[in-house]
Amino acid sequence: MEGSIKQLVVIGGGAAGFFCAVNAARLHPHLKVILLEKSSKVLSKVKVSGGGRCNVTHHCDSISEMVKKYPRGGNFVKKAFHHFFTKDTIEWFRERGVELKTEADNRMFPVTDSSQTIIDCLIAELNRYEVELWMNTDIKEIIVEEGDKMETGASTKMGDDIKSEAKTRFQLKAADGKVFEADAVCVACGGFPKTSMFNWLQQLGHSIEEPVPSLFTFNMPGNPIADLMGVSVPDAQVRITGSKLVSSGPLLITHWGMSGPAILKLSAWGARELAEKNYKFSAMVNWLPAFNENSLRDELQSLRFELAAQKIGHRNPFQLPQRLWDYLLRQSDINADLRWADLPSKEQNKLIKNLCAQEHAVNGKTTFKEEFVTAGGIRLSEVDASTMQSKLVPGLYFAGEILDVDGITGGFNFQNAWTSGFIAAQLK
């Protein structure tokens, strides 16, 4: 493609669109690059991301490990990561004066702890390579012109830079009537919540995987566990009853139900399945994932012996938060003043069940404000992962969340935006 392209139009001023636009302008000095943004702000998600700190990427230097964090699009990003990976992101920002640091959970942030650092860097690149930015420009339609049917040097509203021999391949129509012409287009519009919002891309022949939310927390209306709001455990296992979905990690009890990495991972891996259940299902929590019901029974037998004279409520043997332990005893009809030696087997069985397999009815979800993504988007079999070019329309590229790629929390979604934006910028 590259040689015949004089003008690239990138649709969407988010992470992927910026990365594509600034890299394309830098890599192809004679290319005119135009970036179109429908709203009055660019990089708005970067700004609010990671609680205002921007979790730019994840500290991971193994592609095979990294791809395990993408519930959809793992195989696609695997190919793409061979072209631009986490170390390239780190290096790209470092070369432009932005140092990233790694936190204990391997999430990477700018050392300034401010997403503005990332925004300033991308805007500086935009200005340095003279990318033309149009705000409040909402593209509604892309018309593909057959190159050989076009008159060469067709006059355009913005076409002064197009050489007379150039053949315009695309016309982009904005909501306000403006028309942009381009030899190549990169669509980097982020995720849309409804399939109908992809109509203008379906008109180009592309198929859409139905969008559903990912990364949400579970609502448990009327569940007494909500009284423990703010309690968290460092490692719990959560299983969705009647499915293969299971995940473990930190779990946080909120005033509306449950959140934390264990829940968010489940919401991502189960995004489609849980949408089909209309977010009504049962979540089974094992508060002590080192045990199952049988091994815990054995453990309790020895604890009853070891702690015989001590009161169950005062002696919490598993280092669970005391409020959670009190709640689990109440749920098991155990008086906190009971001595371990006097624990009847019926109540012991209830305690085992509540510790290892406690069922919670989920009814509804709440979007996780820290890092929300949409699963679904442009079908990946129709896009070449090593160029990001459409297999259906030459000269049409895609980058970022518009693709049917989404990761769990931890910087994986931005890495997809940087990788796909960078690859699209090669215009191969």
Ligand X SMILES: Cc1cc2nc3c(=O)[nH]c(=O)nc-3n(C[C@H](O)[C@H](O)[C@H](O)COP(=O)(O)OP(=O)(O)OC[C@H]3O[C@@H](n4cnc5c(N)ncnc54)[C@H](O)[C@@H]3O)c2cc1C
Q: How far is the CB of 194 from ligand X (least distance, A)?
A: 13
Contact between 417 and ligand X per CB under 6 A: yes
Q: How far apart are CA 212 and CA 268, in angstroms?
A: 10
| Torsion region of 370: left, alpha or beta (phi above 0 gives left; psi -120 to 50 gives alpha) | alpha
Helices (H), 217-358: 261-269, 271-276, 293-306, 322-331, 345-356
Q: How far is the CB of 413 from ligand X (least distance, A)?
A: 3
Instruction: Find the helix packing angle between 15-27 and 115-128, rounded to 10°.
Output: 30
Q: How far is the CB of 363 from ligand X (least distance, A)?
A: 24
Angle among Cα 341, 347, 351 to the nearest 5 degrees reads 100
In the complex with ligand X, the residue whose CB is nearer, 138 or 161, is 138
Contact between 220 and ligand X per CB under 6 A: no
Contact between 55 and ligand X per CB under 6 A: yes
Contact between 198 and ligand X per CB under 6 A: no
Coil, helix or strand at residue 63: helix
- Interface region with ligand X, contact rule CB under 6 A, candidates 184-192, 203-211, 226-234, 279-287: 184-192
In the complex with ligand X, the residue whose CB is nearer, 105 or 298, is 105
Q: Is 153 exposed, middle or buried, given 0-12, 13-18 or 19+ CB atoms closer than 10 A?
A: middle
Contact string (CB under 6 A) for ligand X, positions 32-51, x = contact: ----xxxx----xx--xxx-
Contact between 16 and ligand X per CB under 6 A: yes
Q: How far is the CB of 98 from ligand X (least distance, A)?
A: 15
Contact between 257 and ligand X per CB under 6 A: no
Contact between 261 and ligand X per CB under 6 A: no
Torsion, CA 231, CA 236, CA 241, CA 246, rounded to 10: 130
DSSP, residue by residue, 3-18: GG--EEEEE--SHHHH
In the complex with ligand X, the residue whose CB is nearer, 87 or 369, is 369
- Interface region with ligand X, contact rule CB under 6 A, candidates 204-212, 266-274, 342-350, 365-373: 365-373
Q: How far is the CB of 406 from ligand X (least distance, A)?
A: 7
- Phi then psi for residue 291, to 5 deg, are -120, 155
Contact between 173 and ligand X per CB under 6 A: no
Q: How far apart are CA 89 and CA 414, in angstroms?
A: 10
Angle among Cα 335, 338, 341 to the nearest 5 degrees reads 140
Contact between 11 and ligand X per CB under 6 A: yes
Residue choice 33, 108, 139, 274 for contact with ligand X (CB under 6 A): 139
In the complex with ligand X, the residue whose CB is nearer, 340 or 398, is 398
Residue choice 125, 181, 401, 404 for contact with ligand X (CB under 6 A): 401
Across 305-416, where does the E strand assignment appear?
A: 358-363, 365-367, 373-378, 396-398
In the complex with ligand X, the residue whose CB is nearer, 198 or 340, is 198
Binding site for ligand X (CB under 6 A): 11-17, 36-39, 44-45, 48-50, 54-55, 137-139, 188-190, 369-373, 400-401, 411-414, 417
